Amino acid sequence: EICDRVLNKGWTLITDESGAMGPHAINKDQWVGFDDAAMIKHKSEFIKKHGFGGAMIWALDLDDFRNVCGCEEYPLLRTINRVLRNYPSGPLCSLSKESKHAITTESSEGDLRSEEVTPEITPCPQITGDKSDCNKFYTCQFGVLIQQECPAGLHFNQKALMCDWPENSGCKTDENEIPDEPDDTNEPPQTSMEVSTGSEMPEIESTTSANEIIDSRYKVVCYFTNWAWYRQGTGKYLPEDIDTTLCTHIIYAFAVLDSERLEIKPHDSWADIDNEFYTKVSSLAKKGLKVLLGLGGWNDSLGDKYSRLVNSKEARKRFITQAVNFIEKYKFQGLDLDWEYPKCWQVDCNKGPDSDKEGFASLVKELSAVFKPKGWLLSAAVSPSKVVIDQGYDVPVLGQYLDWISLMAYDYHGHWDGRTGHVAPLYFNQGDTFSYFNANFSVHYWLDEGTPKEKLILGMPMYGQSFALVNESDNGLNAPTSGPGTAGQFTRAGGFLAYYEICDTISGANWNVVRHQTGAMGPVAYKGNQWISYDDADDIRRKSKFIKDVGIGGAMIWALDLDDFRNICGCGKNPLLSTINQELRNRNGNTNNCT
């Protein structure tokens, strides 16, 4: 990128004649320092002179590996090899325009070069209706208007910026007008969105009044993940994207356990500390939320370190002392324990000792004794599996000393089963292998084992599990699968799709959506060999009503960055989380299915 800018885009090159450092290039207010081939040669000769062991480069993909600049492929790496490994001689690529190795005007690799990115993209409205067709609307993606359509029978509501019933939309067409587009954009790609085979029509949440009374009897616990900011484009999720009106509690996922010291440490210091995510999220307490630090998670539960912690009284004591300092330093209001799982490490109950059960209960009891006087909160995310509950949790002790227990009532089924199944069924369905693989059983089992109702929180997935079918024509429940489904554009993990990826994908042509008639589980969608199970707004509403009917303490979601937080699908921002709030906290609106 640098050589292209210097040779072709008017950047001024300045070299250090003394050889103390590499060159730098300037263009207006942009300044870049770098090493060119001459400096790489100089450093390689320095290695030889001092008798060092060799050279390392970061990284292969950053050299000119496609010869974009017309000298040779890998010019910097080849220079190292010529000095250190007697590589065959070749050009010393120069960025001087007088050099015979400068790039030519016509290059066979020219299609690999993109236009220089300017500081500003010509603005376009984030979302706007089509002035000639009430059913259509446009979303702005990187300065380009992308046309989409509301489901059949709905019009785009310009005021609410979402699809709505025609009588509510206020849409009046003018066939002579089209949405204003940025001058430098091409014709927007046509993206068709077809209604599913189901009969439900999306109903859209009304705008929330500033004076709206929110019911505070139920908790809505929301996990914020510190890795979603690495996603590209519209998938990127930052602390600023958190809608604080939709959660009562935020849990920052995750800090991790140091395997040697058995103390809390940041999972990603670049995000957590350097980019101040800890501070930005914990400061949301000023808006009336309770913000806890989450410890653990699936990946951090690998191995024996949590077992070593809970089974040593001295280790627990040191951990608690350090945890208090860590929480105070970053101004959190408590700790959420997400060890997956005591005794059954990453669901393998043959790995951990029986003593994990008592040790985890002891850690909870001892943390509570220190936290209570400080007014801090202590919670845990727990397994929905009867097998894990029986072997890993002293439920009466946890129920007594935890402020709440978040039941992870999802991932009952996934591609690891080798057959299709729903990610988070509410009730048992005929044909299920186990009668206890559903939220209804898990909730009542935790209650029966001694959890106070008001402390049990039902977890709901803002994502789906996807599968690759062995036979495209065998696409029902328990159909054989060959592995995970295709990774999503933004989440990029096989077998896993964010809700916004699901609703956007399924809105395309030829997807079949099948809804369970009894409501025992959410919908499934299939096309070709791809099969997806997920919860839509109706299923989230059904589970929220279940919370009220059973009388438990509220809802938990995994995770904020997986709901449709940018209104990609036209059903309003955060449609699933909004549905929970409509049912549990009397928030205005009635969001319905988006697929």
pLDDT by residue for the chain (595 residues), tens only, comes to: 999 999 999 999 999 888 899 999 999 989 999 999 999 999 999 999 899 999 999 999 999 999 999 899 999 999 999 999 988 888 888 887 654 343 332 333 333 333 334 344 445 666 788 888 887 877 765 556 677 777 656 788 887 777 776 767 778 754 333 334 333 333 333 333 333 333 333 333 333 443 454 667 899 999 999 999 999 999 999 999 999 999 999 999 999 999 999 999 999 999 999 999 999 999 999 999 999 999 999 999 999 999 999 999 999 999 999 999 999 999 999 999 999 999 999 999 999 999 999 999 999 999 999 999 999 999 999 999 999 999 999 999 999 999 999 999 999 999 999 999 999 999 999 888 889 999 999 999 999 999 999 999 999 999 999 999 999 999 999 999 999 999 999 999 999 999 999 999 998 779 999 999 899 999 999 999 999 999 999 999 999 999 999 999 999 999 999 999 999 999 999 999 999 999 999 999 999 899 9
- Report the alpha-carbon distance of residue 490 to residue 568 in Å, rounded: 13
Q: Which of 219, 218, 240, 221 is nearest to 229 (CA)?
A: 240
**Quick check: pTM over 0.85?**
no
CATH topology of domain 219-462+536-585: TIM Barrel (3.20.20)
Out of 181, 200, 205, 340, the active site residue is: 340
* Rounded-to-integer distance, Cα 403 and Cα 375, Å: 11
Contact of 548 with 232, CB cutoff 8 Å = no
Domain boundaries, the chain: 1-85, 127-168, 219-462+536-585
Please give the Cα distance from 273 to 306 (Å, whole number): 24
The helix (H) or strand (E) run that includes residue 223 is strand 219-225
Sign for the pseudo-dihedral over CA of 377, 383, 384, 388? negative
Type of residue found at 530: Q
* Domain 127-168 bears CATH identifier 3.40.50.2300: no
The token pair at 594 is 């988006």
| Closest C-alpha to 213, from 172, 238, 191, 245 | 245
Q: Is 283 left (phi over 0), alpha (psi -120 to 50) or beta?
A: alpha
Active site residue 340: yes
Rounded to whole angstroms, the Cα distance separating 497 from 532 reads: 8
Query: Angle 347-352-357 (CA atoms, 0-180°, nearest 5)?
Result: 90
Separation of CA 435 from chain center: 31
- Bridge partners (DSSP) of residue 407 are 382, 458
Closest CA to 457 of 379, 400, 372: 379
